[in-house]
Amino acid sequence: MSQILTIALAKGRILAETLPLLKRVGIEPVDDLLTSRKLIFPTNHANINLVLIRSSDVPTYVQYGAADIGIAGKDVLLEHGGEGLYERVDLKISGCKLMTAGFPNKPLPSGRLKVATKYPRIARQYFLDQGRQVELIKLYGSMELAPIVGLSDLIVDLVDTGNTLNANGLAPLEHIMDITSRLIVNRASQKMKNQAIKEFVSRIQKAVME
């Protein structure tokens, strides 16, 4: 009997770029992921199911074995910490940059910086490496508002076009890292379902290189 593989997919932009990649390796959901209210989606392969969840939850589902495989941004994986999973393939999709941003012509305070972000782990390490003292403020959205209302001096966030920053009088300042989406595998599944996962990863790697 074929081993069942459960693949956790992130909602949003990553999903839009992941579905064509899965299609290239012959995997398509039976239902429309964008309109269905289902939580688990069968595919045209009886042994492969998809689950659609919030991007930040993907590594947690994979870590605890609720999903064997997941696709998430490198930013989410770094913030999660990588416990209980292997990062196997850089899918080279959903590319963007993780940057600091703020008012382009406003001098920063000489002392402790207030930094708003949904990436406190990454931000803490970045400023630590630079020897800069920061007070981190955890936010979950509308990052651009924080400097405008005086909540923070800077934000650390993903930047794609920069249009939202520009519309709010802000600008990207310091480049922290380039971000792409990665394929991750649960460590226990890697052993228990080795052959099925090995075949899937191999097909994805070939599709990425095409």
Distances (CA, A) of 56 to 13, 96, 119, 173, 192: 13, 16, 11, 25, 25
Query: Which pLDDT band holds residue 37 (cuts at 50, 70, 90)?
Result: confident
Model pLDDT, residue 34: 84
Domain 5-94+180-209 top-level CATH class:
alpha beta
Domains 5-94+180-209 and 96-178 share a fold: yes
Model pLDDT, residue 110: 87
Model pLDDT, residue 78: 95
Nearest Cα to 184, choosing from 96, 34, 24, 57? 57
Name the residue ranges covered by the structural domains of the chain. Answer: 5-94+180-209, 96-178
Domain 96-178 top-level CATH class:
alpha beta
- Region 41-69: mean pLDDT is 96
Model pLDDT, residue 1: 39
Q: What is the pLDDT of residues 139-191, one digit of tens each?
A: 998 999 999 999 999 999 999 988 999 999 999 999 999 999 999 999 999 99
- Region 59-68: mean pLDDT is 97
Which pair of tokens denotes residue 208? 């990425």
